[in-house]
């Protein structure tokens, strides 16, 4: 994982599935406003198996994370937009749901 969390900075997240296939997400931070808001682009590398930033597949999507104080808790609002298709949107919804379910298990301890 590479993260340069500042406006104009880039990130790169690489995941390898059990079958050896890589999924590598890259993007650029457009807004960094701690502790309230984080906005960044989201795209996949064509061949995400390397160690450095590679060629990106279109389209470039946009993710906005908003954090709102709710007493002793924090509400997270995720907006992921600019999908190439309904199928892509649905797959991302499934992925985000799995991520937040796992995060909930971790945070709930």
Q: Are 29 and 38 in contact (CB under 8 A)?
A: yes
Tell me which DSSP letter residue 105 carries: H
Span 53-98, pLDDT tens digits: 999 999 999 999 999 999 999 999 999 999 999 999 999 999 999 9
- Beta partners for 56? 45
Q: Which residues contact 58 (CB under 8 A, 6 or more apart)?
A: 43, 84
pLDDT tens digits for range 86-107: 999 999 999 999 999 998 888 7
pLDDT band at 109 (very low <50, low <70, confident <90, very high): low
Closest CA relative to residue 31, chosen from 53, 69, 4, 5 = 5
Would you list the DSSP string of 17-32? -TTS-EEEEEEEEEEE
| Mean pLDDT on 19-42 | 96
What pTM, to 2 d.p., does this model score?
A: 0.90
């Amino acid at each position: 994982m590479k993260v340069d969390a500042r406006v104009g900075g880039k990130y790169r997240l690489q995941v390898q599935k059990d079958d050896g296939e890589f999924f590598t997400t890259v993007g650029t931070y457009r807004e960094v406003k701690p502790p309230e808001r984080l906005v960044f682009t989201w795209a996949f590398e064509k061949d995400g198996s390397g160690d450095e930033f590679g060629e990106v597949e279109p389209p470039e999507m946009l993710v906005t994370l908003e954090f709102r104080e709710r007493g002793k808790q924090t509400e997270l609002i995720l907006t992921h937009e600019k999908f190439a298709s309904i199928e892509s949107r649905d797959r991302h919804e499934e992925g985000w749901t799995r991520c937040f379910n796992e995060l909930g298990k971790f945070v709930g301890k």
